[in-house]
Chain A
Amino acid sequence: MQEFDHIQSLWQSHSVEVKISSDEMLAQSKKEVAGIRAKSRLNILGMILSFAALAALLLFAEFESWTTLAGLSIIVILVAVYTFILYNDHKLIAQNDFTEHPNAFLTKLKAYQVNKFTIYNKLYWVYMVALSIGLIFYFYEKLDHLSTVMQAVLILFTVVWMALCATVFRKAYLKGEKERIGLLIEKFERISAQFKESH
Protein backbone atom coordinates (compact mmCIF):
# COMPACT_ATOMS: atom_id res chain seq x y z
CA MET A 1 0.00 0.00 0.00
CA GLN A 2 1.60 3.26 -1.15
CA GLU A 3 0.99 6.76 0.22
CA PHE A 4 0.71 9.99 -1.74
CA ASP A 5 4.27 11.01 -0.75
CA HIS A 6 5.60 8.00 -2.62
CA ILE A 7 3.56 8.99 -5.69
CA GLN A 8 4.92 12.53 -5.48
CA SER A 9 8.53 11.37 -5.23
CA LEU A 10 7.93 9.03 -8.16
CA TRP A 11 6.55 11.93 -10.24
CA GLN A 12 9.46 14.17 -9.39
CA SER A 13 12.02 11.46 -10.08
CA HIS A 14 10.63 10.99 -13.58
CA SER A 15 12.53 13.61 -15.50
CA VAL A 16 11.14 14.72 -18.83
CA GLU A 17 13.18 16.15 -21.67
CA VAL A 18 12.05 19.05 -23.80
CA LYS A 19 13.67 18.19 -27.09
CA ILE A 20 13.23 21.49 -28.89
CA SER A 21 14.51 25.01 -28.32
CA SER A 22 12.39 28.15 -28.49
CA ASP A 23 13.72 28.92 -31.99
CA GLU A 24 12.97 25.42 -33.24
CA MET A 25 9.50 25.63 -31.77
CA LEU A 26 8.69 28.83 -33.63
CA ALA A 27 10.26 27.43 -36.81
CA GLN A 28 8.11 24.31 -36.51
CA SER A 29 4.99 26.43 -36.22
CA LYS A 30 5.88 28.22 -39.43
CA LYS A 31 6.68 24.97 -41.24
CA GLU A 32 3.05 23.90 -41.72
CA VAL A 33 2.18 27.19 -43.41
CA ALA A 34 5.41 27.02 -45.41
CA GLY A 35 4.20 23.68 -46.84
CA ILE A 36 0.98 25.24 -48.15
CA ARG A 37 2.92 28.22 -49.53
CA ALA A 38 5.40 25.93 -51.31
CA LYS A 39 2.59 23.93 -52.90
CA SER A 40 0.88 27.11 -54.07
CA ARG A 41 4.18 28.42 -55.50
CA LEU A 42 4.73 25.12 -57.36
CA ASN A 43 1.24 25.37 -58.81
CA ILE A 44 1.98 28.89 -60.10
CA LEU A 45 5.38 27.83 -61.41
CA GLY A 46 3.75 24.99 -63.36
CA MET A 47 1.29 27.44 -64.90
CA ILE A 48 4.08 29.90 -65.79
CA LEU A 49 6.07 27.13 -67.49
CA SER A 50 2.98 26.05 -69.43
CA PHE A 51 2.39 29.66 -70.43
CA ALA A 52 5.99 30.07 -71.60
CA ALA A 53 5.89 26.86 -73.65
CA LEU A 54 2.55 27.72 -75.27
CA ALA A 55 3.57 31.33 -75.92
CA ALA A 56 6.79 30.14 -77.58
CA LEU A 57 4.75 27.79 -79.76
CA LEU A 58 2.42 30.63 -80.65
CA LEU A 59 5.28 32.98 -81.53
CA PHE A 60 7.72 30.70 -83.29
CA ALA A 61 5.72 27.89 -84.92
CA GLU A 62 4.17 28.31 -88.35
CA PHE A 63 0.51 27.57 -88.87
CA GLU A 64 -1.42 27.19 -92.07
CA SER A 65 -4.89 27.74 -90.68
CA TRP A 66 -6.27 30.61 -88.61
CA THR A 67 -8.06 28.03 -86.42
CA THR A 68 -4.76 26.76 -84.98
CA LEU A 69 -3.70 30.31 -84.15
CA ALA A 70 -7.08 31.03 -82.58
CA GLY A 71 -7.04 27.78 -80.57
CA LEU A 72 -3.55 28.35 -79.27
CA SER A 73 -4.31 32.01 -78.49
CA ILE A 74 -7.36 30.98 -76.45
CA ILE A 75 -5.28 28.48 -74.47
CA VAL A 76 -2.42 30.96 -73.87
CA ILE A 77 -4.82 33.68 -72.67
CA LEU A 78 -6.61 31.12 -70.50
CA VAL A 79 -3.38 29.96 -68.84
CA ALA A 80 -2.30 33.58 -68.29
CA VAL A 81 -5.62 34.53 -66.67
CA TYR A 82 -5.61 31.49 -64.38
CA THR A 83 -1.98 32.03 -63.43
CA PHE A 84 -2.94 35.57 -62.42
CA ILE A 85 -5.91 34.26 -60.39
CA LEU A 86 -3.65 31.71 -58.64
CA TYR A 87 -1.04 34.40 -57.96
CA ASN A 88 -3.65 36.70 -56.42
CA ASP A 89 -4.80 33.85 -54.20
CA HIS A 90 -1.20 33.04 -53.25
CA LYS A 91 -0.62 36.65 -52.16
CA LEU A 92 -3.16 36.11 -49.36
CA ILE A 93 -0.94 33.63 -47.55
CA ALA A 94 2.41 34.95 -48.72
CA GLN A 95 2.45 38.25 -46.87
CA ASN A 96 1.53 37.36 -43.29
CA ASP A 97 3.10 35.28 -40.55
CA PHE A 98 0.79 33.42 -38.18
CA THR A 99 3.26 33.59 -35.30
CA GLU A 100 3.35 37.39 -35.51
CA HIS A 101 -0.16 38.37 -36.66
CA PRO A 102 -2.45 35.46 -35.78
CA ASN A 103 -5.84 37.07 -36.43
CA ALA A 104 -4.86 38.75 -39.69
CA PHE A 105 -3.30 35.53 -40.95
CA LEU A 106 -6.31 33.45 -39.95
CA THR A 107 -8.66 35.77 -41.85
CA LYS A 108 -6.45 35.55 -44.95
CA LEU A 109 -6.11 31.77 -44.68
CA LYS A 110 -9.89 31.43 -44.60
CA ALA A 111 -10.18 33.68 -47.67
CA TYR A 112 -7.48 31.58 -49.36
CA GLN A 113 -9.47 28.43 -48.67
CA VAL A 114 -12.69 29.94 -50.07
CA ASN A 115 -10.86 31.18 -53.20
CA LYS A 116 -9.21 27.81 -53.69
CA PHE A 117 -12.60 26.13 -53.75
CA THR A 118 -14.02 28.69 -56.18
CA ILE A 119 -11.03 28.13 -58.48
CA TYR A 120 -11.36 24.35 -58.39
CA ASN A 121 -15.15 24.30 -58.60
CA LYS A 122 -16.95 27.06 -60.55
CA LEU A 123 -13.89 28.50 -62.27
CA TYR A 124 -12.56 25.05 -63.11
CA TRP A 125 -15.54 24.36 -65.36
CA VAL A 126 -15.08 27.71 -67.14
CA TYR A 127 -11.42 26.71 -67.60
CA MET A 128 -12.41 23.31 -69.01
CA VAL A 129 -14.94 24.75 -71.48
CA ALA A 130 -12.46 27.40 -72.72
CA LEU A 131 -9.68 24.81 -72.94
CA SER A 132 -11.91 22.45 -74.91
CA ILE A 133 -12.80 25.23 -77.40
CA GLY A 134 -9.11 26.09 -77.72
CA LEU A 135 -8.16 22.45 -78.29
CA ILE A 136 -10.94 21.91 -80.88
CA PHE A 137 -9.64 24.89 -82.88
CA TYR A 138 -6.05 23.73 -82.45
CA PHE A 139 -6.72 20.16 -83.50
CA TYR A 140 -8.71 21.25 -86.58
CA GLU A 141 -5.53 21.83 -88.59
CA LYS A 142 -3.07 19.70 -86.64
CA LEU A 143 -5.01 16.45 -86.86
CA ASP A 144 -5.76 16.92 -90.52
CA HIS A 145 -2.37 15.49 -91.56
CA LEU A 146 -2.70 12.37 -89.41
CA SER A 147 -4.33 9.03 -90.15
CA THR A 148 -7.86 8.37 -88.90
CA VAL A 149 -6.57 5.95 -86.25
CA MET A 150 -4.06 8.48 -84.94
CA GLN A 151 -6.75 11.17 -84.93
CA ALA A 152 -9.04 8.90 -82.90
CA VAL A 153 -6.24 7.98 -80.47
CA LEU A 154 -5.23 11.61 -79.88
CA ILE A 155 -8.81 12.82 -79.43
CA LEU A 156 -9.62 9.90 -77.13
CA PHE A 157 -6.47 10.47 -75.07
CA THR A 158 -7.28 14.21 -74.73
CA VAL A 159 -10.88 13.56 -73.74
CA VAL A 160 -9.96 10.84 -71.22
CA TRP A 161 -7.17 12.97 -69.75
CA MET A 162 -9.44 16.02 -69.36
CA ALA A 163 -12.19 13.86 -67.86
CA LEU A 164 -9.73 12.36 -65.37
CA CYS A 165 -8.46 15.82 -64.41
CA ALA A 166 -12.00 17.12 -63.97
CA THR A 167 -13.18 14.20 -61.85
CA VAL A 168 -10.64 11.97 -60.08
CA PHE A 169 -7.62 14.30 -59.83
CA ARG A 170 -9.63 17.44 -59.10
CA LYS A 171 -11.64 15.73 -56.38
CA ALA A 172 -8.56 14.14 -54.78
CA TYR A 173 -6.73 17.47 -54.82
CA LEU A 174 -9.71 19.31 -53.34
CA LYS A 175 -10.15 16.69 -50.62
CA GLY A 176 -6.46 16.87 -49.68
CA GLU A 177 -6.46 20.67 -49.62
CA LYS A 178 -9.68 20.80 -47.63
CA GLU A 179 -8.22 18.53 -44.96
CA ARG A 180 -4.83 20.25 -44.90
CA ILE A 181 -6.08 23.84 -44.74
CA GLY A 182 -9.07 22.90 -42.58
CA LEU A 183 -6.85 21.31 -39.93
CA LEU A 184 -4.57 24.32 -39.96
CA ILE A 185 -7.51 26.74 -39.61
CA GLU A 186 -8.90 24.63 -36.76
CA LYS A 187 -5.53 24.66 -35.01
CA PHE A 188 -5.02 28.39 -35.48
CA GLU A 189 -8.55 29.13 -34.29
CA ARG A 190 -7.95 27.01 -31.20
CA ILE A 191 -4.70 28.87 -30.51
CA SER A 192 -6.30 32.28 -31.01
CA ALA A 193 -9.51 31.49 -29.11
CA GLN A 194 -8.19 31.78 -25.55
CA PHE A 195 -7.09 35.38 -25.97
CA LYS A 196 -10.08 36.38 -28.08
CA GLU A 197 -12.33 35.27 -25.21
CA SER A 198 -10.45 37.29 -22.62
CA HIS A 199 -10.28 40.50 -24.65
Chain B
Amino acid sequence: MHLRRNKSLQLASKTDKAHPVENKEKLFKEIFDTNSKKIFHLCYGYTGDEDSANDLLQETFLKVWQNLDKFRNKSLISTWIYRIAVNTCLTYLRSEKRQAKDELTDNIIENRPEEFSEKNEQVALLYKSIAKLEENDRLIITMVLDELPYHEIAEISGISEGNLRVRIHRIKSKLTELYNQHARI
Protein backbone atom coordinates (compact mmCIF):
# COMPACT_ATOMS: atom_id res chain seq x y z
CA MET B 1 0.00 0.00 0.00
CA HIS B 2 2.83 2.37 0.88
CA LEU B 3 4.52 1.50 -2.40
CA ARG B 4 1.32 2.36 -4.21
CA ARG B 5 1.21 5.68 -2.40
CA ASN B 6 4.72 6.56 -3.47
CA LYS B 7 3.83 5.60 -7.04
CA SER B 8 0.80 7.84 -6.96
CA LEU B 9 2.99 10.68 -5.73
CA GLN B 10 5.40 10.20 -8.61
CA LEU B 11 2.52 9.96 -11.06
CA ALA B 12 1.03 13.14 -9.69
CA SER B 13 4.30 15.03 -10.06
CA LYS B 14 4.55 13.95 -13.72
CA THR B 15 1.07 15.17 -14.54
CA ASP B 16 1.32 18.25 -12.33
CA LYS B 17 1.86 20.56 -15.25
CA ALA B 18 -1.45 19.63 -16.86
CA HIS B 19 -3.87 20.05 -13.93
CA PRO B 20 -1.82 21.00 -10.87
CA VAL B 21 -4.70 21.98 -8.57
CA GLU B 22 -6.96 19.03 -9.40
CA ASN B 23 -4.05 16.60 -9.11
CA LYS B 24 -2.99 18.00 -5.77
CA GLU B 25 -6.54 17.79 -4.43
CA LYS B 26 -6.98 14.24 -5.70
CA LEU B 27 -3.68 13.13 -4.26
CA PHE B 28 -4.38 14.86 -0.96
CA LYS B 29 -7.79 13.19 -0.71
CA GLU B 30 -6.17 9.80 -1.25
CA ILE B 31 -3.50 10.51 1.34
CA PHE B 32 -6.10 11.80 3.81
CA ASP B 33 -8.41 8.81 3.35
CA THR B 34 -5.54 6.35 3.82
CA ASN B 35 -3.84 7.96 6.81
CA SER B 36 -6.34 10.11 8.70
CA LYS B 37 -7.76 7.34 10.88
CA LYS B 38 -4.36 6.25 12.22
CA ILE B 39 -3.24 9.83 12.74
CA PHE B 40 -6.49 10.62 14.54
CA HIS B 41 -5.96 7.61 16.82
CA LEU B 42 -2.42 8.82 17.54
CA CYS B 43 -3.72 12.29 18.42
CA TYR B 44 -6.55 10.82 20.47
CA GLY B 45 -4.11 8.66 22.39
CA TYR B 46 -1.91 11.69 22.99
CA THR B 47 -4.63 14.08 24.17
CA GLY B 48 -7.34 11.69 25.34
CA ASP B 49 -9.84 14.22 24.03
CA GLU B 50 -11.82 14.09 20.79
CA ASP B 51 -11.96 17.84 20.15
CA SER B 52 -8.23 18.32 20.68
CA ALA B 53 -7.54 15.25 18.54
CA ASN B 54 -9.64 16.78 15.76
CA ASP B 55 -7.70 20.06 16.01
CA LEU B 56 -4.43 18.16 15.84
CA LEU B 57 -5.62 16.10 12.88
CA GLN B 58 -6.58 19.29 11.08
CA GLU B 59 -3.24 20.97 11.80
CA THR B 60 -1.32 17.87 10.73
CA PHE B 61 -3.08 17.53 7.40
CA LEU B 62 -2.94 21.27 6.77
CA LYS B 63 0.84 20.94 7.02
CA VAL B 64 0.69 17.93 4.69
CA TRP B 65 -1.39 19.92 2.18
CA GLN B 66 0.92 22.93 2.30
CA ASN B 67 4.12 20.91 2.02
CA LEU B 68 3.13 18.07 -0.26
CA ASP B 69 5.51 19.31 -2.94
CA LYS B 70 8.38 19.15 -0.45
CA PHE B 71 7.94 15.41 0.13
CA ARG B 72 10.88 13.75 -1.58
CA ASN B 73 10.04 10.01 -1.45
CA LYS B 74 13.08 9.40 0.78
CA SER B 75 10.77 7.71 3.27
CA LEU B 76 7.26 6.34 3.16
CA ILE B 77 4.62 9.03 2.98
CA SER B 78 2.96 7.53 6.07
CA THR B 79 6.24 7.94 7.98
CA TRP B 80 6.45 11.55 6.82
CA ILE B 81 2.88 12.20 7.97
CA TYR B 82 3.48 10.51 11.32
CA ARG B 83 6.54 12.70 11.80
CA ILE B 84 4.45 15.79 11.10
CA ALA B 85 1.75 14.54 13.49
CA VAL B 86 4.26 13.85 16.28
CA ASN B 87 5.73 17.35 15.94
CA THR B 88 2.24 18.85 15.82
CA CYS B 89 1.19 17.00 18.97
CA LEU B 90 4.30 18.04 20.89
CA THR B 91 3.98 21.73 20.04
CA TYR B 92 0.18 21.96 20.21
CA LEU B 93 -0.51 21.32 23.86
CA ARG B 94 2.35 23.54 25.00
CA SER B 95 1.29 26.53 22.94
CA GLU B 96 -2.41 26.13 23.58
CA LYS B 97 -1.77 25.81 27.32
CA ARG B 98 -4.39 23.11 27.41
CA GLN B 99 -5.78 21.44 30.50
CA ALA B 100 -3.67 19.05 32.50
CA LYS B 101 -3.47 15.60 30.96
CA ASP B 102 -5.42 13.98 33.82
CA GLU B 103 -8.37 16.29 33.25
CA LEU B 104 -8.26 15.62 29.52
CA THR B 105 -8.46 11.90 29.95
CA ASP B 106 -11.30 12.19 32.43
CA ASN B 107 -13.29 13.73 29.57
CA ILE B 108 -13.43 10.38 27.83
CA ILE B 109 -15.40 8.88 30.67
CA GLU B 110 -17.53 11.98 31.19
CA ASN B 111 -18.26 12.46 27.49
CA ARG B 112 -19.85 9.08 26.97
CA PRO B 113 -21.92 8.10 29.96
CA GLU B 114 -24.56 6.49 27.76
CA GLU B 115 -22.09 4.00 26.35
CA PHE B 116 -21.08 2.55 29.68
CA SER B 117 -19.90 -1.04 29.46
CA GLU B 118 -17.04 -3.08 30.83
CA LYS B 119 -15.11 -2.73 27.59
CA ASN B 120 -15.60 1.03 27.43
CA GLU B 121 -14.49 1.28 31.02
CA GLN B 122 -11.33 -0.64 30.12
CA VAL B 123 -10.71 1.63 27.12
CA ALA B 124 -11.14 4.70 29.33
CA LEU B 125 -8.66 3.19 31.81
CA LEU B 126 -6.23 2.60 28.98
CA TYR B 127 -6.39 6.25 27.85
CA LYS B 128 -6.07 7.37 31.45
CA SER B 129 -2.97 5.21 31.82
CA ILE B 130 -1.46 6.51 28.56
CA ALA B 131 -2.06 10.06 29.79
CA LYS B 132 0.13 9.34 32.83
CA LEU B 133 3.14 8.71 30.58
CA GLU B 134 5.62 11.36 29.47
CA GLU B 135 4.63 13.29 26.30
CA ASN B 136 7.15 11.55 24.00
CA ASP B 137 6.45 8.15 25.55
CA ARG B 138 2.75 8.61 24.89
CA LEU B 139 3.40 9.13 21.19
CA ILE B 140 5.83 6.22 20.95
CA ILE B 141 3.48 3.78 22.68
CA THR B 142 0.52 4.74 20.49
CA MET B 143 2.64 3.91 17.45
CA VAL B 144 3.63 0.60 19.06
CA LEU B 145 -0.02 -0.14 19.82
CA ASP B 146 -0.80 0.58 16.17
CA GLU B 147 1.90 -1.98 15.23
CA LEU B 148 4.16 0.37 13.32
CA PRO B 149 7.51 -1.32 12.56
CA TYR B 150 10.26 -0.31 14.98
CA HIS B 151 12.47 1.15 12.25
CA GLU B 152 9.62 3.47 11.24
CA ILE B 153 8.99 4.56 14.82
CA ALA B 154 12.74 5.21 15.14
CA GLU B 155 12.67 7.37 12.00
CA ILE B 156 9.57 9.25 13.12
CA SER B 157 10.79 9.93 16.64
CA GLY B 158 14.43 10.53 15.70
CA ILE B 159 15.78 7.88 18.11
CA SER B 160 18.20 5.11 17.11
CA GLU B 161 16.55 1.71 16.78
CA GLY B 162 18.68 0.24 19.58
CA ASN B 163 17.71 2.97 22.03
CA LEU B 164 14.13 2.78 20.89
CA ARG B 165 13.84 -0.93 21.68
CA VAL B 166 15.05 -0.32 25.24
CA ARG B 167 12.72 2.64 25.59
CA ILE B 168 9.70 0.76 24.23
CA HIS B 169 10.35 -2.09 26.65
CA ARG B 170 10.38 0.41 29.53
CA ILE B 171 7.22 2.19 28.32
CA LYS B 172 5.36 -1.11 27.87
CA SER B 173 6.18 -2.12 31.45
CA LYS B 174 5.21 1.30 32.76
CA LEU B 175 1.92 1.33 30.84
CA THR B 176 1.02 -2.19 31.96
CA GLU B 177 1.79 -1.21 35.55
CA LEU B 178 -0.30 1.97 35.32
CA TYR B 179 -3.19 0.12 33.71
CA ASN B 180 -3.20 -2.55 36.39
CA GLN B 181 -2.97 0.10 39.10
CA HIS B 182 -6.00 1.94 37.69
CA ALA B 183 -7.89 -1.33 37.21
CA ARG B 184 -7.48 -2.18 40.88
CA ILE B 185 -8.93 1.17 42.08
Identify the A interface with B (CB < 8 A): 1-4, 7-8, 10-14, 16, 18-23, 25-26, 28-29, 99-100, 102, 186-187, 190-195, 199
Contacts and interface: CB of A to CB of B under 8 A. Distances in A.
A22 B29 contact: yes
Contacts of B176: 2-4, 7
Q: Is the interface of B mostly helix, strand, loop or mixed?
A: helix
Interface in B20-68: 25, 28-29, 32-33, 36-37, 40-41, 44-45, 53-54, 57-59, 61-63, 65-67
Task: State which size class the interface on B falls in.
Answer: 35 or more
A7 B57 contact: no
B67 A195 contact: yes
A22 B123 contact: no
Interface string B122-154: 110010000000000000001011110000000
Given A7-B179, A16-B40, A29 B63 contact: no
Interface stretch (B6-14, B83-91, B98-106): B83-91
A186 B95 contact: yes
28 contacts: A3-B176, A8-B144, A10-B126, A11-B145, A11-B146, A12-B145, A14-B123, A14-B126, A18-B37, A22-B28, A22-B29, A22-B61, A23-B25, A25-B57, A25-B61, A26-B62, A26-B65, A29-B62, A99-B65, A99-B66, A190-B59, A191-B59, A191-B62, A191-B66, A193-B91, A194-B63, A194-B88, A199-B70
Contacts of B123: 10, 13-14
